[in-house]
Structure 1
Amino acid sequence: MPHIATRQRISAFLLAAGALLGVSLVAGGYWTLWQTRGQASMSDLPPALITFPERRPLAEFALIDDAKGVFDLKSLDSHWSFLFFGFMYCPDICPTTLYDMSQVKREIIAAGVGAEALQFVFISVDPARDKALQLQRYVQYFDPEFVSATGSMGQLTNLTRQLGAPFRVEPATAENVYEVTHSSAIYLVDPSGQYAGIISPPLVPNNIATAFSQLYGDTAARQLAQRN
């Protein structure tokens, strides 16, 4: 079961005034953390990527992407999709995970997987505060190709339940002031829309890239064998 990360309260005016600055500081500091973490003994780390013996097809779902278009099951076609659920007001786990995802992407491409085969998606579970244009600017700070999406609570729950990605929006204590809890894992969906695996913290980009590259190669080899 993925870890559940509880977020501290943060008011709307703090986001408007300091979100990008905060992300910059976190990203800069996190680079040092990532380097230090990479020196840890491999035996101390859990598997970088847990894959399922049998992949599970996802049922239809519909969200709204950062261009105000539909993000649905068809949006996952022809890509290996890395899905992460969070929210823009998140002060720690979300920006650091998005930074990690940008490093994972870089490492996977360096290993020889084409960028066109990959899709990294940040899905906000806080639709009341996170709007499409804001989400687009937020995720593209980490990588210009990152995609974002959100939807109604019902639409979000339809997808998160399929993936086993819990989240909860707590009652507000003041206008636009409330806590959100959500999974800190990354969920991997294959190019045919099947739930293929899960990546849980701690996130070590090089290890994740190595594990994914092996999965990518094994899948390609199996598909080739089936065609022959």
Structure 2
Amino acid sequence: MEDSNTRSKPGYNKTAIISLTIAGLFVGALISFGLLREEEEHIVPEYLVEYVLWDPQPIEPFSLVDFNGREYGVDQFEGKWTFIFFGYTSCPDVCLVTLANLASVFRQLEATAFTMANVQAIFVSVDPQRDTPAVLKRYVPEFDARFMGVTGDESGLETFTRQFGALYFLGEEDNHGSYLVTHNSSVFLVDPKVRQYARFAVPHIPGKITEAFIRIVQHYNAAEEAKKFTWFKKGQ
């Protein structure tokens, strides 16, 4: 008499093979999807986590005016690394220090033979009532002639500042008509693709920012080259 276990083996093997095949296809699909996702994801190395954002967001259109009285919009960021700081010219402390530190960063970058043609710094005044283009033109270049000062009306500033989470509040006027402005003290970095890419929180130590920025650019360029290689492989 034929053993019942022996009779069941052929059917068992077929079922096992089919199950393993399906499982293999499923796992393969997951792996492929994972690899594609990895190629698309913005991977931030550990040494840049302090600065680089995990999900860089594109800067939406906005309308401000520069210290030459010209319209200043999102197209001014294209193809450049842009340092952005929000403040006001009557600021008694942090604005002066931050702009001086950014000027030091620019000098340090030049000393390393870094290509400065694609680097710019923007001081955005959130106090347009006092900081007219003429006032900004006297104030901003004192720190570095390459720095640009911009401002705008309430609507224009709101459209721009909210994209960075850079809230600001005008204080009450004193007996002399003076007032303070509470504002964000971080320095923001926009990449050549016009995305908010990194943020430098206080304290703003020039040497640390310079070193971090160089490494950020190196990481960015390497990632862009890797994407080109990936697209080339997909096209083959």
Q: Structure 1-normalised TM-score?
A: 0.75
Within-5 A mapping of 1:86-125: 86-125=87-126
Q: How far does residue 179 in structure 1 lie from its aligned partner after superposition?
A: 1.9
Aligned-residue Cα RMSD (Å) equals 1.7
User: Does structure 2 conserve the Cα–Cα contact (< 8 Å) formed by 1:107 and 1:206?
Assistant: yes
Structure with higher helix content? 2
Matched position secondary structure for 1:149: strand
Give the structure 2 partner of residue 56 of structure 1: 57
1:129-149 residue CA offsets vs partner (Å, 9 max, x unmatched): 011122012110010110000
Higher alpha-carbon Rg:
2
Output the amino acid matched with 1:86: G
Output the amino acid matched with 2:139: Y
User: Does structure 2 conserve the Cα–Cα contact (< 8 Å) formed by 1:48 and 1:204?
Assistant: no
Output the amino acid matched with 2:87: G
User: Does structure 1 conserve the Cα–Cα contact (< 8 Å) formed by 2:91 and 2:180?
Assistant: no
Specify every segment of 5 or more residues in structure 1 that has no aligned partner in the other structure, as ranges. Answer: 1-46
Give the structure 2 partner of residue 222 of structure 1: 223
1:40-95 residue CA offsets vs partner (Å, 9 max, x unmatched): xxxxxxx8951112211111111000111111110111111100011111111111
Q: How far does residue 176 in structure 1 lie from its aligned partner after superposition?
A: 3.7
Residues 73, 49 of structure 1: alpha-carbon distance in 2 compared, 3 angstrom cutoff:
farther
Give the structure 2 partner of residue 5 of structure 1: none
User: Does structure 1 conserve the Cα–Cα contact (< 8 Å) formed by 2:68 and 2:133?
Assistant: yes
1:89-137 residue CA offsets vs partner (Å, 9 max, x unmatched): 1111111111000011112233332111111010100000011122012
User: Does structure 2 conserve the Cα–Cα contact (< 8 Å) formed by 1:87 and 1:125?
Assistant: yes
1:4-30 residue CA offsets vs partner (Å, 9 max, x unmatched): xxxxxxxxxxxxxxxxxxxxxxxxxxx
Matched position secondary structure for 2:162: helix
Residues 61, 209 of structure 1: alpha-carbon distance in 2 compared, 3 angstrom cutoff:
same
Matched position secondary structure for 1:123: strand
Q: How far does residue 215 in structure 1 lie from its aligned partner after superposition?
A: 0.8
Within-5 A mapping of 1:20-59: 50-59=51-60
Specify every segment of 5 or more residues in structure 2 that has no aligned partner in the other structure, as ranges. Answer: 1-47, 230-236
Output the amino acid matched with 2:79: S
Output the amino acid matched with 1:54: D
Instruction: Name the CA distance, whole Å, in 2 between partners of 1:68 and 1:49.
Output: 36
Give the structure 2 partner of residue 38 of structure 1: none
